[in-house]
Every structure is written in C-alpha cells, then in structure tokens.
Structure 1
Amino acid sequence: MRTTSARDKRTASGQRVLILTAGVGSGHNSAAAAVQQACAARADIAEVQVLDVLQVSSVLYRALLSRGYFVLVEGLPWLVEWGYDISNPPFRRRGPIDPWTRVNASPVVGAIKRFRPTAIVCTHFLPAQLLAALLLRGLIDAKTAVVTTDYDFQGLWLSGAFHKIFVAREEGKVELMALGLPSDRVTATGIPIKKQLSPGPVRDSNKPPMLLISAGATGGDYAVSVVRQTLHMRSAFTVTVVCGHNDALRQRIGALVASAGDRYSVLGFTAEMPQLLQRADLFVGKPGGLSASECMAAGLPMVLVNPIPGQEVRNGDYLMEQGAAVRCNTAATIGWKIDQVLRDPGRLQKMQAAAQRTGRPDAAADVLSELLDGPSRPLVVTRAAQRTILAASENRFVATDLTGPSSLVRLVDQASGSTVALLQEDELPDLQKRYSTPDGDLVLRRGRASLLLRWEQRRLLRALLRGDDALPVRVEGPLAPFRDLHG
C-alpha cells in the first residue's frame, strides 16, 4: 500500500510526512490512515505518503510475517502468547538488523530517500527499528515517531533512536519513565483512529438495544457460535453482524438467523462501520487495539470474545479495568453474559459512560502536534544504556533504584532543554575527557579525533550533530519517574 496526497503549490515548502506501516492485520494500516487523515487538517503539511513496508518486501517475507501470524493465531495460540512474552522485555535484541530484514528493507530506504521527508511516523515496530539504524548512521534528517497500536506497551517497540514515542495510556508512559526514558520523549495520546467528518447517528433509547457483532479478521466457527448463542437470549434486542470479506461466513450466519425475522442484519464488508459504532449499544468481538479504540471513541462498551493471546488479552484487561467491557471466556455462555448486561438496570448506561471517558478521538492529531512541535534532535539510547534498561525491566527495578557504573545518565541539549541521549554512567569518563568545558558540561564536537573514538561514540555524534559542528549538553541523572510525570 502506497498512497500520496499533496497540497497546492503555496504549501510546497511545508512539512513532508512519511507514514510507515506494516499490514499484519488491519490495525497498523488503520492507524496509518488515521494519521494521514489528520495530516490533511494541517496547513503546514505540504505532502503526505503512506507506505506499507511489507508490500515492497519479498513475497516470502510478506507471507511469513502477515499470513504466518494468523496461521499461528488459529492453530497454535499458545505459541503466539509465548512469542509475545519473549519479545516483551525492552531491548532484549540489541544487535543490528538481521541480513534478511536488511535486504527486504532496501526498497523502504529507497522510498525514504526519494520522498525526502521532514517527519516519519511508524505505526509498526518493523519500520521503527529500521529508522533507528538510519538515524544512528546519520542517513536521515527527519523527525521520527513510534506510534504503538495496543493499550499495553510491548518492549519490542522500543528502539535505540527516535524523536518521540506515543503510547496508548498513561500507565505506558509511567512504565517507560520508570525504566529511564525521559518524559519529554514519551507521550500518552491514545491510539490513532479516523475521525468522522460528519455527525454520527444518535442512539435511540426508546428502541431495543442494538448489538454489533464483528467476526474479526479470523472469524469462522467462533463467530457462528456467538450468533447462535444470541438466539437463546431473553432480552429485547436487535443484532447487526459484520462478516467482512468472508462471504461464506456471511451466508452461513444468514441461514442460521433466517427464522428470526428482521431482528438480525447480516453484512459483508461495509464502509459504514463508523456509523454502526455510533448507532450500536453494545459491541461483541475481539479487543484489537484499533477496534477497541474506535469503540471507546464512540462510547460503545464491549463484550470481549476469543482475544488473541498477548496483546488482545491485555487490551481486554485494560478495558475491563475501566469498566467499559466484560469478557466471556466461552461461547457457550455468551448469550447469558449479554443478557446479564442488558437486564441489569443502568449497567449498560454506566458502561457506555466508561467507554466515553476512555476514548481518545483526537489521538492522531495529538501525535502530529507533539512530533512536529517537539525536539528537533533524536533521543539516542546507547547499547550500554539498553543493557541497563533490559536488566531493570527483568529485575523489576525503576531507573532511580540503579546505582554504580551501570546506572543511567542523560545528556540534555542546553539550547532546547530536551534529552538527547541516555548513557550508562561508566560511558561518561571518555566523553568528559574529550569534550568537557571548564564548568563541567560537555560540548560534543564533530571530527575531534574521530578515528580514535569508540564505535558507540561515533554513532552518538552522527545522530546528534547532524549538520552542526558542535552541541553543548549538560549531564543529568534520571529524575524520579513519578515526580517527573505528576509534578
């Protein structure tokens, strides 16, 4: 998928935004489309392009990453959960991009060079890792954003260089700050979703509640079981079932509910999903990050069924914590579960209010504002600092608990006040020996005995100096994460 939109010639000198995504499921691409829509609302953006990095990779690479994932979800869900857990610790993998991924990334690098972006937004961790490598090699000069697409933060999204990382909720920001990430580089915006350009329909409280059942990306037998269970419900209700592109499933469910008259409406793919979300009273389906965010923005509570182990289970935990969802762990009781919600006076309305409070409909616009108005230099996390962050995560420490040579220190740009690097304390002496000023600060300089510098220091200078010859910075220890966040 590669889409481009441009403004008239009067804005030709404006921002050029490249949005990199990966079509593993629909959520990452939906988030990219939401950011693209938000770009259209800004007068300072001259051109925007969306690129699905899998669409320009080899057929085998694309098949293994996209189709292979759903094969595992269907046949070996325990393996998906294991994979999520094993890749969750931040910076567990610190080495260079593997050769196979590097080869498949070549078309993406070419697209970046041709488009010449001033800002790059990643809605998948694959391009985020690639951009980190390019920043550290000094090959791009664009502000870069990593936009996570689930409510729980997964360490796989954290890379060694970026300008801003956007998480779905405040707890994710607290988690990253506890590990040592500076508050000026982490923002909790919610997950980007497309906004309705016209007012949606208003729910009619005088009509029976409308259930919206989504078959999801994998659909099939489980969706049929859910619909079959609703046939046994005693409450008054209507149902709209969305089967997507699965025409066989649409016909199968249509035959199942044929005897129920006009109580059921069975749809295939529909472009009216935003309107359905606004009109429905209760959503029944999987808690994918984007679908959950769309429901919350519409004030639509959820009945969660068959979540994918890992991220969707954690999404569901958060929604239930907020009071905006209930989960049903077996299709055999889902009709009873929905009945319990509908028959308890005031419960549905309380869940709708909780969903409304949880929704972040302006997330895409907030991502752009924070990125474009934010620091111009990236944050670099050295390999040694990455080891510290990984160890802190595995040992359940927060950054301020760490002491000694492996503790974290920050380099802060004296001109902007933004943190530009995280280092281990024992990396400082060599920098101080070469770049110290009389008052104890540092002035990082290009070309000063560059051949004698360690490889990690050369990467740091390339990423931070860019077109400058020098950068004055001061050294700080990490702030207490909760004080920095709340006070």
Structure 2
Amino acid sequence: MRRTPVRGPDTAEGERVLILSAGVGSGHNSAAAAVQQACAARSDVAGVQVLDVLQVSSVLYRALLGKGYFVLVEDLPWLVEWVYDISDPPFRRRGPIDPWTRVNALPVIGAIKRFRPTAIVCTHFLPAQLMASLLLRGVIDARTAVVTTDYDFQGLWLTGAFHAFFLAREEGRVELMALGLPPDRVAATGIPIATQLKVAPVRDANEPPMLLISAGATGGDYAVSVVRQTLHMRSSFTAIVLCGRNDALRQRIEQLVAPAGDRYRVLGFTAELPQLLRRADLFVGKPGGLSASECMAAGLPMVLVNPIPGQEVRNGDYLIEQGAAVRCNTAATIGWKIDEVLREPGRLQRMQTAARRTGRPDAAADVLSGLLDGPSRPLVVTRGAQKTILAASERHVVATDLTGPSSLVRLIDSAAGSTVALLRAEEMEDLQKRYATPNGGLVLRRGQAPVSLRWEAQRLLRAILRGDGALPVRVEGLSAPFHILPG
C-alpha cells in the first residue's frame, strides 16, 4: 500500500513551523525558543509550535538520555569524551532508527500529523535523525532544517536527508563542503539565541569591572570554587553570581560571600539575564554553545572553567582562538587568571572587541530565512555516499578528492539549480539505464520501466520527486569530469 505523505497546508496561507528539540541540557531548548521568537517577526509565518521530543517519550527513555547524560558528565567525564570522539566521524551510524527510538518517536510523528507543518527546524540530532527517516520514507513533505548548537561541527548531526544544514561558524561549513555537501544546502549562520537588547545599559566608567559568574541552568557545584578564589583577587571588581535553579547552591554561596559585604550579588534563576549580559564586563563559567553565543552577541568575553569534555572543550578552543576568552584548567588559579585579564592595560577591551566580532545576534532570523526561502526539495545523501564520506574521514582523506567508482557525484535540479542528491559514481548505473536522455542528461520519473530500481534508488526518487511525476537533473562530478553512459 502506498504511503500518503503528511503535507502541510498551502504556503499561500502562511508557513507553519514546527521546532523540535530535546531537553538534554538547556541549550537545545533555548535555541528552539530563539527560533520561535524569530517566527513572530515574520509576516509569512501563520503558526509555530515547539516540541521537546523527550517530554513526549517514555519516562525511561527520557531519564536515560536526559538525566543519564548529566550523571556521566559529573561522574565519568572521560566516558563522555570517548563517546563524543567515537561518534564524531560523519555517518558512522547509518541504517534505520533502532526499534526503541522508533517506538518513542511515535508521539512526535503524531504531533507532526496534527500540526501539519510546512517547515520543521531541529535543534538536536535526535529529531534530525528521525526527520531524515521520515523524509526518505515519504511520510513528511515539509522543508526540514538541522541547526547545530555548538561551535564545532560534530558528525552525529549529519543525516541522510534534509533541506538545509546550519552551522555556528564558517570552518564547519568548509568541513561539510569538503565532505561533499553542496554549498547551496549548508550555511554558517551562528547559533540561534534570543533577541538581544538594542541598547546596552549605561555604565559609569568609574565603576569597577563587573564579573558575571554562572553556575549554569542547573547550578553546578564548581561555582563554589570559582567564587571562593575570587575572594582572593587583588583587582577591584563587583560580581553577580547566577546559581540557576539550585537553591542549596545559592544559600552556600550567600554564606561564603557574606563577609565581603555588597561586592557580590547572588541570584537564583532570573529573567534578567539579557540585561546582565550587557552590563557585565567579564563572564566566568562553562562554554556551552548557547551561553557562549549569548556572550559573544553581547560583546562579553569569557573566562572558561570546567568545560564538559567534547563539545564544550571545542567551544572553548574556538573562543580562545578568536581572542574572546581565556581558559582556567584548575580551580586554584581562577582568581589569578581573572586578575591577569583585569590588570593588563587594554586586555579586557581587546577581548570585548573580539567578542563583538565573533557574535552572531541575528542567527535565528537567518536560519528561518535560509530554510523558508531555500530549496523546496530535500537533499538526499545515499547510503553509498555516506560510506564514502565515512571511509574518507577515517583515513583522514578529503572525500571530494576521491576518484573512481566510489567518488562522489551530485544530482542538480536543472530548473531550480539546487542539489537534490549526493551519491557514489557507481550508484549512477541504475539511474542512467532507466532515465538517461539522448542529450546526455537525466529525467527522473515515477512509474515502471524495463529496468528495475534497487531499493536505495527507490528511496532517493521518493524523497526528491515528492508529488511530481518527473524531474530533469544534471550530473556533477566532484573530483573529475563525470560522463553519462550512453542511453
């Protein structure tokens, strides 16, 4: 029985944007909220819905993926780093979604059917992988975007089908293009963050520098060590300490700084963060993707402490490379490190300039524009192309330099000019036998023909043809001229 795809309403009635996240940490949901906020600024968006996919999954699944992650971060950070590194090669995981994840995805599929989106934005790799599966199976027919939430590209995010892929920085875009991904499907927009204040609060130049010390959304105990070391600093400063939702931590720090009088202000969870980011002179805390992006957009340099192995370490490397941050690797020297920044003439100002240069305050709006104004057909990366990209990555070879049967080839929509498929050269055989035209081109078509298609080619056609009966395409080889076999 032919599956009927879930199609959204005519976009003439307005776009319906579904934003899918996963509550593993606060960053993914914060990015989703930022995209939701950007939707409100567009007149062509008729409806928007945000869904945390873990909140509609089973309690066990949610606990293992959500709470389990933080248990590992706290108790087994070396394991977190090992998992991050082993899952970093692109397309290491291929094939269908495992049965347990598929069962837990059923409520998400139900939400899609009820909302009928014309566009889907994924701010976590779990829903991104699910949407790729649904696109290839013909279950959905909505423009789909993958939005990464850390500065460094991690291969786990790359899926076999999507309309647009958004990265935090240009180096990630260059990396994906070296893997063979086409430039019309990959953009470096920055990480989506909430709208920043248009005008920074006025500060008295005679006031001492203000530190913004953050324990993170959940309130990490490392903040106690940070605050304790600042008590020994020689520089004049004031500090605001953010303890998140950890009331016990807030009380401990309040007792710790009580002898310092009004130099410290200790807060729990606060809605004042946008104002505080613009008022502060130096941020002290972890380099989470969203925290770092918000600081950079506010021109607020960072002192990095206690980064999570993997993504946060790489975030920190990038910020240090840009001159917008310094890292402290031991609690014993935190106060000294901050003192060094504050006491060196002009250093804090140079770091603030670097932060402003690095910031991307319009990332959420750019993601929406790139998706809604971009190609209507998805890009499909076949299993063969995925194997080529993975093998090249493991051998430290650039995939676009490969030649021969395993080299990469793109199919380009002749009318729209957008890339619709990335596949191996040897995978072209089926398509050439069936769809080659006398002038050396291809016209992909639905229906039967004397030459039967393999399953992978059927998936490709189902995804890129959508509701159309035919699609003229041209072939583009990435490493050397590619010649169509005679029809």
Compute the TM-score of the two structures, normalised by the length of structure 2.
Answer: 0.95
The alignment of Structure 1 onto Structure 2 pairs a total of residues equal to 470
| Aligned residue in 1 for 2:147 | 147
The answer (yes or no) to whether the contact 1:203–1:280 under 8 Å persists in 2 is no
Query: Displacement of 1:202 after TM fit?
Result: 3.1
SS in 2 for 1:223: helix
| Aligned residue in 2 for 1:338 | 338
1:119-144 alpha-carbon deviations (Å, 9 max, x no partner): 00000000000000010011111000
The answer (yes or no) to whether the contact 1:179–1:389 under 8 Å persists in 2 is yes
Residue type matched to 2:181 in 1?
L
| Aligned residue in 2 for 1:484 | none
Compute the TM-score of the two structures, normalised by the length of structure 1.
Answer: 0.95
The 5 A counterparts of 1:4-23 are: 13-23=13-23
Q: Name the stretch that deviates more: 392-401 or 419-428.
A: 392-401
SS in 1 for 2:275: helix
C-alpha distance in 1, partners of 2:220/2:37? 32
The answer (yes or no) to whether the contact 2:145–2:371 under 8 Å persists in 1 is yes
| Aligned residue in 2 for 1:42 | 42
Residue type matched to 2:454 in 1?
R
Residue type matched to 2:431 in 1?
L
The answer (yes or no) to whether the contact 1:203–1:281 under 8 Å persists in 2 is no
Query: Displacement of 1:196 after TM fit?
Result: 3.2
C-alpha distance in 1, partners of 2:338/2:190? 27
1:362 to 2:338 alignment: no
1:311-334 alpha-carbon deviations (Å, 9 max, x no partner): 000000000000000000001000
| Aligned residue in 2 for 1:206 | 206
The answer (yes or no) to whether the contact 2:217–2:245 under 8 Å persists in 1 is no
| Aligned residue in 1 for 2:446 | 446
Which blocks of at least 5 consecutive residues in structure 1 are unaligned? Answer: 1-10, 481-487
| Aligned residue in 2 for 1:298 | 298
Q: How well do the aligned residues superpose, as a CA RMSD in angstroms? A: 1.3
The 5 A counterparts of 1:305-324 are: 305-324=305-324
1:25-54 alpha-carbon deviations (Å, 9 max, x no partner): 000000000000000000000000000000
| Aligned residue in 2 for 1:474 | 474
C-alpha distance in 2, partners of 1:217/1:328? 21
SS in 2 for 1:23: coil
Pair 1:356–1:197, CA change in 2 (3 A): closer
Query: Displacement of 1:220 after TM fit?
Result: 4.1
1:179 to 2:187 alignment: no
The answer (yes or no) to whether the contact 1:399–1:478 under 8 Å persists in 2 is no
Residue type matched to 1:210 in 2?
M
SS in 2 for 1:307: coil
Query: Displacement of 1:398 after TM fit?
Result: 1.6
1:188 to 2:188 alignment: yes
C-alpha distance in 1, partners of 2:479/2:298? 37
Residue type matched to 2:148 in 1?
T
Pair 1:101–1:136, CA change in 2 (3 A): same
SS in 1 for 2:212: strand
The 5 A counterparts of 1:216-255 are: 216-217=216-217, 219-255=219-255
The answer (yes or no) to whether the contact 2:209–2:236 under 8 Å persists in 1 is yes
Q: Name the stretch that deviates more: 446-455 or 337-346.
A: 446-455
Query: Displacement of 1:447 after TM fit?
Result: 1.3
1:193-219 alpha-carbon deviations (Å, 9 max, x no partner): 000365341343321000000011454
SS in 2 for 1:235: coil
C-alpha distance in 1, partners of 2:172/2:309? 19
SS in 2 for 1:239: strand
C-alpha distance in 1, partners of 2:304/2:479? 39
The answer (yes or no) to whether the contact 1:128–1:159 under 8 Å persists in 2 is yes
SS in 1 for 2:165: strand
Query: Displacement of 1:299 after TM fit?
Result: 0.1
SS in 2 for 1:374: coil
| Aligned residue in 1 for 2:268 | 268
1:45-70 alpha-carbon deviations (Å, 9 max, x no partner): 00000000000000000000000000
The answer (yes or no) to whether the contact 2:192–2:363 under 8 Å persists in 1 is yes
| Aligned residue in 1 for 2:403 | 403
1:120-169 alpha-carbon deviations (Å, 9 max, x no partner): 00000000000000100111110000000000000000000000000000
Residue type matched to 1:62 in 2?
R
C-alpha distance in 2, partners of 1:237/1:261? 13
| Aligned residue in 2 for 1:4 | none
C-alpha distance in 2, partners of 1:262/1:303? 23
Q: Percent identity?
A: 84
| Aligned residue in 1 for 2:455 | 455
C-alpha distance in 1, partners of 2:246/2:210? 22
